[in-house]
């Protein structure tokens, strides 16, 4: 039977490949949902990813007094580490005071950051209710929400931050392109 040389070689290669070749190099095991969950905690600016739970300003103050004040100071300033309250109106100045209140564009990021990284010496130790409450407390101290407001997955994404319009998107959206064209 006539067979072109190239076809013979190809057939030979297939015939000698190990049967599990499609499964990759056989290194490691797929991660389980249970092991993935602690890493899968990003919150989007529109609130996607926010967990159930809620927290008031008052409850947040109580947690803050216990777990945050030593590093961030009374009512969010004057501590040895980052100032969390104040600085609004300073971004136009040479000496900017960047806090979560003056600088951060989305309130949902405050939740994400605290849950992920604080308290510094014991990250991911807070309950979701505590994180909502701390977020409410910091928003209140920054004059962004009222004392009676409660933060949860519905209310938090609706909070408008003073510097929301202060960032330039690296990847323009249709809307931002339209706005650019109008200038
Ligand atoms: C042991 C000290 C310590 C404690 C306690 C602590 N923090 Fe922090 N916090 C830090 C440090 C240090 C940073 C800056 C980390 C960095 O930039 O990588 C920070 C940063 C932050 C930021 C971001 C500030 C910014 O503008 O970038 C927030 C919000 C915050 N902390 C909230 C909290 C809350 C809420 C608590 C209490 C649950 C808390 N922290 C407890 C040390 C602490």
- Model confidence pLDDT, tens digit, residues 125-149: 999 999 999 999 999 999 999 999 9
- Assign 4 a pLDDT band (cuts: 50, 70, 90): low
Greater model confidence, 24 or 87: 87
Contact 45, 106 (CB under 8 A): yes
- Give tens-digit pLDDT for 38-70: 889 999 999 999 999 999 999 999 999 999 999
pLDDT of residue 11: 45
pLDDT for 180:
78
Residue nearest to atom 42 of ligand 1 (CA): 120
**How far away, in angstroms, is 71 Cα from ligand 1 center?**
7
pLDDT of residue 177: 82
Checking if the pLDDT of 13 tops 50, the result is no
Model confidence pLDDT, tens digit, residues 149-166 = 999 999 999 999 999 999
At 2, the pLDDT band (50, 70, 90 cuts) reads low
Q: Which tops the pLDDT comparison, 140 or 30?
A: 140
Q: Is 64:131 a contact under the CB 8 Å cutoff?
A: no
Residues whose CB falls within 8 Å of the CB of residue 52, separated by 6 or more in sequence, listed in order: 128, 152, 153
Q: Compute, in angstroms, the gap from residue 92 CA to the centroid of ligand 1.
A: 25
| The pair of three-digit structure tokens given for residue 48, joined into one six-digit string | 């996607």
Distance 35 CA to ligand 1 centre (A): 26
């Amino acid at each position: 039977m006539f067979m072109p040389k190239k076809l013979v070689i190809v057939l030979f290669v297939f015939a000698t490949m190990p049967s599990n070749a499609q499964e990759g190099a056989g290194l490691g095991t797929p991660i389980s949902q249970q092991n993935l969950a602690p890493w899968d905690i990003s919150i989007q600016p529109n609130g996607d990813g926010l967990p159930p739970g809620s927290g008031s300003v008052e409850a947040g103050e109580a947690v803050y007094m216990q777990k945050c004040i030593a590093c961030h100071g009374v009512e969010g300033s004057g501590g040895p580490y980052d100032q969390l309250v104040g600085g609004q109106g300073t971004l136009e100045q040479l000496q900017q005071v960047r806090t979560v209140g003056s600088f951060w564009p989305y309130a949902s990021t405050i939740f994400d950051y605290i849950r992920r990284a604080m308290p510094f010496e014991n990250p991911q130790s807070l309950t979701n209710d505590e994180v909502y409450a701390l977020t409410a407390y910091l928003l209140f101290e920054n004059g962004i929400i009222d004392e009676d407001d409660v933060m949860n997955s519905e209310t938090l994404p609706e909070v408008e931050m003073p510097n929301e319009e202060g960032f330039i998107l690296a990847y323009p959206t249709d809307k931002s392109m339209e706005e650019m064209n109008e200038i």
